Amino acid sequence: MKKISGSDAIMQVLVKEGVQTIFGYPGGAIMPIYDALYNYSDKLNHILTRHEQGAIHAAQGYSRVSGKVGVCFATSGPGATNLITGLADAQIDSTPLVCITGQVPSHLLGTDAFQESDIIGISMPVTKWNNQITNADKISEIMSKAFYIAASGRPGPVLIDITKDAQFAKIKFTYKKCEKIRSYHPYPILNKDSIKKASDLINNSKKPLILVGQGVLLSNAEKELIQFSEKSGIPMASTLLGLSAISCIHKNYVGFLGMHGNYGPNIKTNEADLLIAIGMRFDDRVTGDTSKYGINAKIIHIEIDQSEINKIIKVDVAINADAKQALINLLPFINKNEYKNWMSEFKKCDEIEFNKIIKKELNHDGKEIKMTEVIHLISEMTDGKSIIVTDVGQHQMIASRYYKFTKPKSNITSGGLGTMGFALPASLGAKLGQPKREVIAIIGDGGIQMTIQELATISQYNIGVKIILLNNNFLGMVRQWQELFFENRYSFTEMKNPDFQKIAEGYGIKNNKVENKSKLKKSIQKLLDYKNAYLLEVVVEKEENVFPMVTSGDSVSNIRLE
Selecting among 259, 397, 420, 477, the annotated active-site residue is 477
3-state secondary structure of 166: helix
Instruction: List the beta bridge partners of residue 317.
Output: 300
Residue type, 364: H
Task: Find out whether 139 and 133 touch, Cβ atoms under 8 Å.
Answer: yes
Cα separation, 312 vs 417, in Å, equals 18
Helix axes 192-203, 323-330, angle to 10 degrees: 60
Selecting among 68, 128, 164, 409, the annotated active-site residue is 164
Cα separation, 541 vs 539, in Å, equals 7
Selecting among 3, 43, 114, 525, the annotated active-site residue is 114
* Ramachandran assignment for 65, one of left (phi > 0), alpha (psi -120 to 50 degrees), beta (any other): alpha
Whether 52 sits among the annotated catalytic residues: the reply is: yes
Task: Find out whether 423 and 468 touch, Cβ atoms under 8 Å.
Answer: no
Cα separation, 261 vs 493, in Å, equals 24
3-state secondary structure of 461: coil
Residue type, 68: K
**DSSP run (H or E) holding 172:** strand 170-172
Reference 156, options 47, 59, 45, 21; nearest CA is 59
Q: Give the strand order in the sheet containing 298-303.
A: 253-256, 236-238, 208-212, 274-278, 298-303, 317-320
- Backbone torsions φ then ψ of 424, nearest 5 degrees: -65, -55
Selecting among 17, 52, 308, 544, the annotated active-site residue is 52
CA atoms within 13 A on the CB side of 106: 13
Instruction: List the beta bridge partners of residue 163.
Output: 103
Say which residues have a Cβ less than 8 Å from residue 406's Cβ, sequence separation at least 6.
Answer: 247, 248, 249, 383, 384, 385
DSSP 21-88: EEEE---GGGHHHHHHHGGGTTT-EEEE-SSHHHHHHHHHHHHHHH-SPEEEEE-STHHHHTTHHHHH
Instruction: List the beta bridge partners of residue 73.
Output: 24, 100
Task: List b or e across 233-254, with b for residues whose CB sees 16 or more CB atoms inside 10 angstroms.
Answer: bbbbbbbbbbbbbbbbeeebbb
Whether 453 sits among the annotated catalytic residues: the reply is: no
**DSSP run (H or E) holding 514:** strand 510-514
Instruction: List the beta bridge partners of residue 210.
Output: 236, 276
Give strand ranges (E) for 346-502: 387-390, 411-412, 439-444, 466-471
Selecting among 20, 115, 453, 460, the annotated active-site residue is 115
Whether 164 sits among the annotated catalytic residues: the reply is: yes
Cα separation, 160 vs 102, in Å, equals 9
Catalytic residues: 52, 114-115, 164, 477
